[in-house]
Amino acid sequence: MADTANRVRSARLEVRLTPDERRLIDDAVAATGVLLSDFVLSSLRIAAHDALADRTEFALDDDGRRAWDELNRRPARELAGLRSLMSRPSPFVEE
């Protein structure tokens, strides 16, 4: 994560909360001893990272990792027509 301690925060984000949601957040802020803005920003950063992680990261448990490694150790297969297809000029390149 980028260090934001030395950056000027000029953009605002507003959100509407129920009284119960606000109490929960206030209790969490008090329990952690940080400023409300820092708590919310940190939580939002984590949530954003988690939401995007499946698009940028590939996480496996031990069994999944073993299966993945096994698949990647297999020799490449010769697929009928693939060599011919890959030797054709690209239709996206102007000549």
pLDDT digits (tens, 9 = 90+) for 20-63: 999 999 999 999 999 999 999 999 999 999 888 878 777 889 99
> 2-20 burial by CB neighbour count: b if 16+ within 10 A, else e?
eeeeeeeeeeeeeeeeeee
| pTM exceeds 0.75 | no
- Tokens 């605002």 belong to residue: 12
Closest C-alpha to 9, from 40, 47, 32, 48: 40
Residues listed for the chain? 95
Complete DSSP assignment for 27-87: HHHHHHTS-HHHHHHHHHHHHHHHHHHHHH-----HHHHHHHHHHHHSPPP--TTHHHHHH
Identify whether the C-beta of residue 25 lies closer than 8 Å to the C-beta of residue 40: yes
pLDDT digits (tens, 9 = 90+) for 64-91: 999 999 999 999 888 889 988 988 988 8
